[in-house]
Amino acid sequence: MSDWPSLRWLAQGLLGCDLALQSGGSSAADGLLSRPVLTPSHLLLPDDLPVPDGLDQHSLLRAATAHAVAHLKFSVPSLPSKGLKPMTVALISALEDARVERLLLRDHPGMRDWFLKPLRLAVQPEGIGFAALMSRLDLALMDPAYRDDQPWVHKARTLFEKQAADLENSEGFRQIALNLVHDLGQTRVAFRPGQYQVSAPYRDDNTFLWQHEISSADPPPELELQVPQQHPPQAQSMPSSGEGKVPEVATEEVALCQHLYPEWDHRLSLLRQDWCTVVDKLPSWRHVPKPALAVSAAPMALKRPPHLHGGRRVRRQPEGDELDLNAVVEFMVAQRSHRFGESRCFSRRAAAEPSASILVLLDLSASTNDRLPEGTQTFLGLEKEAALMLANAVHASGDRIAVHGFSSNTRAEVSYYRLVDFGAPLDAAAHAVLSSAPARHSTRLGAALRHATASLLEEANDLKAILVLTDGAPSDIDVHTPNHLVEDARHAIHQARAAGVQVHGLVVDRQADTYARRIFGWRHHHIVDNAMTLPTRLCSLYRWLTAA
């Protein structure tokens, strides 16, 4: 390439050392345009690097070389990206591109037009997607004369210019990016890592800046989910006889399907439609022995399921084995008022019939991995045992029960685990799945409650109830407004009750009274002071619900 000697001299003059320029085939994935690739010693300029109309190849390669020099002089390479979402990485990279170019222009102001012309050609002035917003921001940070009324671009430009008084402080620009990513999340700007690339053709692909951890265990929430055609084999792999040996089974965590739910913004009194994505999942699991407490650590209340009830109490009967006190009072009031009153003043026990559907919803956030102050057990293990104890007792009574769990990693990924579903047998497979439920991330309770309510509304029984087991207030990493998720959970519960679903909370947190009362209501929250009593408290709550 005839331009390369001049490009090498340019790089050497700016850097004070050689930069190897190398041609290549293509640096782009399918469907994307090529971009330069920078390493600490080389700059790869692909053969198919696109040259926009209105720009010649020499000008493009000159800007690419100068931009690469700016990174080599002023950027810290190979920063770990662990813990950052792809959108955050892209935005930090864009601000870093602008920062190092500003530093280079401080010493060589005549280069501004080298960068300005390709940025003007790449801008998408009317776009509101992530790539379009980034193209507009890139130009705004380079061209003082450019005007953009888009609120997010205006805010980003203002924060950048304020921080530009200290261009050497790269951490300050990183904090700006984290702030701006939160705003994009609140306005539902979509980001798809496999479809995004740097807008300006002279800028490299930013791989120079990052060290990415290679892991498939926790894909970023923005990745599209692949919905499998069928569930992993569970019951099929288990023997029909309870006495047979159960083979060990291992699977990857599977995303079954995804659902969109609204979220309540109490500051605006606005229900944001399709705001949260709830993903039905099956945890990775293998057959393990039925969970049990160590005998030395288990109080007597946990060693056997309590007897719940022998049937339904039918009230307002013409005859029976006990007086129905409410009916007696109403009858006497009617008599004293000289009004006719029915003399159905008795109650009796009827044979137990499956007239209740109970859904136990487990908090599977990272905090449930903490050890309980009452002993060496974790809250995660205790809530699983409580759910299993209740499930066994409810099965024996003839009612229907399900055990689900949830955790969240921003509104884009609320993981929802159907550990034991309605009508499923409590066999070795069910025990294994329940035991393998992971605890991680955060607690976006409102979205999980809406999904649990939708599951319960498919049940035909008269009594439908959700029993929530949790160890703290709702929270998530993309929410910074106090009480936002508390108010959203409260709104979700009001919606559930309006649809005929009762919701009760058992909270293992001595400081929970204020937020628990706000979420569940005065008569529907229960503070569990001693965590080890959780299983019996859960069974007692079920007995109280089904006694009427």
Q: Look-up: residue for tokens 């619900």?
A: 545
Give the distance between the most distant pair of CA atoms in the chain: 111
Q: What are phi and psi of 373, to 5 degrees?
A: -65, -20
- Report CA Rg, the chain: 31
Which residue carries 């030395």 as its tokens? Answer: 296
pLDDT at 242: 39
Residue 312 confidence (pLDDT): 57
Residue 19: what pLDDT?
86
Give the ranges where 376-512 is alpha helix by DSSP (H).
379-397, 428-435, 445-456, 484-498
For the cut 60, the answer to whether the pLDDT of residue 170 exceeds it is yes
Are the beta carbons of 185 and 23 closer than 8 angstroms? Answer: no
Task: Report all structural domains of the chain as residue ranges with CATH numbers, in order of start.
Answer: 4-211 (no CATH), 252-291+355-547 (3.40.50.410), 311-351 (no CATH)
**What is the mean predicted confidence (pLDDT) over 177-190?**
84
**pLDDT for position 315:** 74
pLDDT, one tens digit per residue, over 361-377 is: 999 998 888 887 766 78
d(CA 509, CA 402) in angstroms, rounded, equals: 24
2 falls in which pLDDT band (50, 70, 90)?
Answer: low
Question: Alpha helix (H) ranges present in 287-324?
Answer: none
What is the Cα–Cα distance from 403 to 414, expressed in whole angstroms?
17
Q: What is the mean pLDDT of residues 316-335?
A: 80
Cα separation, 94 vs 71, whole angstroms: 12
User: Are the CB atoms for 328 and 335 separated by under 8 Å?
Assistant: no
Mean residue pLDDT across the chain? 81
Residue 352 one-letter amino acid:
A
pLDDT per position as a tens digit, 112-156: 999 999 999 999 988 888 999 999 999 999 999 999 989 999 999
Report residue 260's pLDDT band, with 50, 70 and 90 as the boundaries.
very high
pLDDT band at 292; cut points 50, 70, 90: very low
- Tell me: pLDDT of 106 over 90: yes
* Predicted pLDDT at 486: 94
Q: Which tens digit of pLDDT belongs to each residue from 107-119?
A: 999 999 999 999 9
Q: How confident is the model at residue 480 (pLDDT cuts 50, 70, 90)?
A: confident
User: What is the arithmetic mean of pLDDT over 419-438?
Assistant: 86
Compute the distance between CA of residue 468 and CA of residue 490 in angstroms, rounded to an integer: 13
Query: How many whole angstroms from its chain centre is CA 71?
Result: 34
* Whole-Å CA distances, 147 to 142, 153, 154, 527: 12, 10, 9, 55
pLDDT of 28 strictly over 90: no
